[in-house]
Amino acid sequence: MDNRKDRNFKSVVLTGVVGLMIGAILMLLIDPFSPGKGFLSKENADEKITMKANADEGEEEPSIKEAVAESINTVVSVVKYEGGNMWEGAEPEKAGSGSGVIYKKENDKAYIVTNHHVISGASQIEISLEDETKLEAKLLGSDPLLDLAVLEVDGGEIEKVIEIGDSSKLEPGATAIAIGNPLGFLHGTITAGVVSSPDRVMPVDINQDGSIDWQSEVIQTDASINPGNSGGALINIHGELIGINSSKIAQEAVEGIGFSIPIDVAMPILQDLQEHGEVLRPYIGIVPISLTDIPSQYYSQTLNLPEGIEDGVVIREIVSTSPAGMAGLKQYDVITKLDDTEIKTGGELRKFLYTEKEIGDDVVVTFYRNGKEETATLTLQEDFAQNN
């Protein structure tokens, strides 16, 4: 009887120990360190799924090598020739080179974007594909203000067109890859870096007269953009075109700073150049000069400005039959506002007209004449001469 009780007691103890061990194991699985964080908990399961999804996304992120492979065949060399006269038997001479990007193919033609300064003054233009095939290019139009030009070539030799990206979604730190032909013979050179700033504003002096003509919206990158890279592609990690490189905007003796024209800014300009050979911009008919570019002694003398007026745009010349002339504006009037927007420089005047207004719109001009503030309303016309 005592032996039977002893066996029963041992059986109960053994069962209890086993139960405790199983319970401990389950607790470790469910909650090894803190509540809700066990291996079998819902939170832990969700975390593992998230980690796997993130890992999968990381694996799908293209490399720079893959991005370049997607687009390098669309970047071409652009060679400019000047002079020459076929009637006199004189051959044109090579006068410079740059880069270009095949951005469109339509019917039997292909279209290439490059910089205005790359082809300016050319009597003949030739492009060279990555396989060194050379094609004669026709200049459809160029725009010195944004430093863009469109070339047309026979599309028979063109197999690939670059994918257009979205420069409006760029953020600082995003991968930026420049492809071009520096020095005119290093075809397909690749430099990589990051987007330093997606929306930098840079002053541009188009005619090199010391006066700022335009405030250019650019992408700043630390990817090297050297002479010969001009007109080449700035691409993202997916191989999509996000900008057109321009070494003209870059400052000399500054390393690690390159600038590119955002593709979202460029595309409407390219469309105008392809269809019309020029950019259709509104025109008021004046030659402006920023008040800050004039010696201050002329403020009260020639311009008769009241005290306190230190910013504005002086009408240096005016076309009598232009919108400004017909609205009654005169030489030496000082414009301070267009509609309700203050205008301090010639660059701001152009930017307002070209980005806020269209041909046919009315604009209210506030100006000073003989010490008095006046207003006039004019109707904008098409700018045939590419001035204001």
Q: Mention every residue, 6+ apart, whose C-beta is less than 8 A from residue 24.
A: none
Tokens 């002053």 — which residue? Answer: 203
Give the separation between CA 8 and CA 3, rounded to whole angstroms. Answer: 9
CB atoms within 10 A of CB 51: 10
Contact assessment for residue 280 and residue 257, using Cβ atoms and an 8 Å cutoff: no
Contact assessment for residue 151 and residue 138, using Cβ atoms and an 8 Å cutoff: yes
Q: For the purposes of burial, counting CB atoms within 10 Å of the CB of 230, is it exposed (0-12), middle (13-18) or buried (19 or more)?
A: buried
Q: Mention every residue, 6+ apart, whose C-beta is less than 8 A from residue 217.
A: 199, 200, 201, 261, 262, 265
CB atoms within 10 A of CB 222: 16
- Catalytic residue set: 117, 147, 230
Q: For the purposes of burial, counting CB atoms within 10 Å of the CB of 260, is it exposed (0-12), middle (13-18) or buried (19 or more)?
A: buried
Q: Mention every residue, 6+ apart, whose C-beta is less than 8 A from residue 294.
A: 303, 314
